[in-house]
Amino acid sequence: MSPLFLIVAIAIKLESKGPVIYVSKRVGQHFKLFDLIKFRTMATDADLRINQLKHLNQYASKEAEVESCPKCAALGEPCSPLLYSDGKEICESFYLHQKHEKANSPFMKFQNDPRVTKVGQFLRSTSIDELTQFINILKGDMSLVGNRPLPLYEAEQLMRDESAFRFMAPAGLTGLWQVTKRGKKGEMSAQERIDLDNEYARDFGFLYDLKLIIKTIPALFQQENV
């Protein structure tokens, strides 16, 4: 892959100032901290701007897409005082739950992220930016298949309750949630992703990993990116 890496490095340098390689602290299996190696696809100040974009987080918006309160449905009547939000009637309990989920989603994903460069958009759409992670695999930081190693600001929110179980599995380049589509157009909520990570942590093994590798090939060409 060296010739490809050289071409990518030149393209990144020609478009924007800054390093070719982006090194990110990640949390892997058994909470091991390591440096994840990627081609830089964003502006050099991307990490500093993340707090400015939290309101655009797609995972947070997906949590808010559920339109009715499950407690109200079970009771057959409002479980708490009724409020009006965006012209719709909603119980206070569910309104506060949605507000909390929107502000505290553990994962970050932005559609049309303004921090991504033009070369970076191409690298991401083709997954070329991920190829440098074979270096991490050779070093033993992660595996070919596993749960995605998370940045510190995401991992710290999953260090409690059943969510932490996902760290019992190897960190991987591809995994179960990457090849699983949920909902419309492959959209996936934060809770669905946590559930899939935990499912993989329970079931991972050689044959299971081989199955996920095979599923990864068509997933590379799908329009919807989970």
Per DSSP, the residues of 125-187 read: HHTGGGTTHHHHHHHTSSEEESBPPEEHHHHGGGSSGGGGGGGGSPBEEE-TGGG---SGGG-
Mean pLDDT taken over the chain: 80
Is 150 part of a structural domain of the chain? yes
Dihedral angle over CA of 168, 206, 215, 60, nearest 10: 0
- Provide the number of structural domains found in the chain: 2
Would you say residue 199 has pLDDT above 60?
A: yes
| pLDDT of amino acid 226 | 45
Would you say residue 135 has pLDDT above 90?
A: yes
C-alpha angle with apex 24: 22 to 27, nearest 5 degrees? 155
Report which listed range, 29-33, 47-51, 97-101, 104-108, is most confident: 29-33
Claim to verify: residue 151 and residue 197 sit in the same structural domain: yes
Report which listed range, 42-51, 54-63, 76-85, 106-115, is most confident: 76-85
* Rounded CA separation 48/216 (Å): 32
Q: What is the mean pLDDT of residues 152-159?
A: 83
Would you say residue 224 has pLDDT above 60?
A: no
Would you say residue 45 has pLDDT above 80?
A: no
* Rounded CA separation 204/226 (Å): 20
Claim to verify: residue 40 and residue 136 sit in the same structural domain: yes
Is 164 part of a structural domain of the chain? yes
Would you say residue 67 has pLDDT above 60?
A: no
Q: What is the mean pLDDT of residues 195-223?
A: 87
CA dist 121 → 9, 20, 118, 217 (Å): 14, 15, 5, 20
Claim to verify: residue 133 and residue 212 sit in the same structural domain: yes
Q: What is the mean pLDDT of residues 145-170?
A: 88
Q: What is the pairing mode between strands 82-85 and 88-91?
A: antiparallel
111 contacts 121 by C-beta, under 8 angstroms: no
Residue 154 φ/ψ, nearest 5 degrees: -90, -45
Is 83 part of a structural domain of the chain? yes
Claim to verify: residue 69 and residue 42 sit in the same structural domain: no
Alpha helices (H) in the chain, listed in sequence order: 2-15, 58-63, 70-75, 92-104, 118-126, 133-139, 152-155, 190-203, 206-219
Claim to verify: residue 48 and residue 65 sit in the same structural domain: no
Claim to verify: residue 147 and residue 163 sit in the same structural domain: yes
Which of 104, 119, 139 is at the close of a domain? 104
Is 226 part of a structural domain of the chain? no
Q: What is the mean pLDDT of residues 55-60?
A: 58
Is 112 part of a structural domain of the chain? no
| Of the listed ranges 19-28, 91-100, 113-122, 164-173, the one predicted with least confidence | 91-100
Claim to verify: residue 69 and residue 167 sit in the same structural domain: no
Q: What is the mean pLDDT of residues 20-41?
A: 93
128 contacts 118 by C-beta, under 8 angstroms: no
Would you say residue 124 has pLDDT above 70?
A: yes
Claim to verify: residue 42 and residue 84 sit in the same structural domain: no
Q: Which residue has the tokens 């050689």?
A: 206
Q: What is the mean pLDDT of residues 160-184?
A: 84
| pLDDT of amino acid 171 | 96
Claim to verify: residue 145 and residue 201 sit in the same structural domain: yes
Report which listed range, 86-90, 179-183, 199-203, is most confident: 199-203
Claim to verify: residue 141 and residue 66 sit in the same structural domain: no
User: Does pTM surpass 0.75?
Assistant: no
| Of the listed ranges 3-7, 14-18, 220-224, the one predicted with least confidence | 220-224
Is 116 part of a structural domain of the chain? no
CA dist 75 → 39, 69, 70, 82, 83 (Å): 52, 10, 9, 15, 18
Claim to verify: residue 203 and residue 136 sit in the same structural domain: yes
Is 124 part of a structural domain of the chain? no
Is 117 part of a structural domain of the chain? no
| pLDDT of amino acid 184 | 47
Claim to verify: residue 133 and residue 215 sit in the same structural domain: yes
**Domain assignment of residue 163, given as a range:** 2-52+129-219
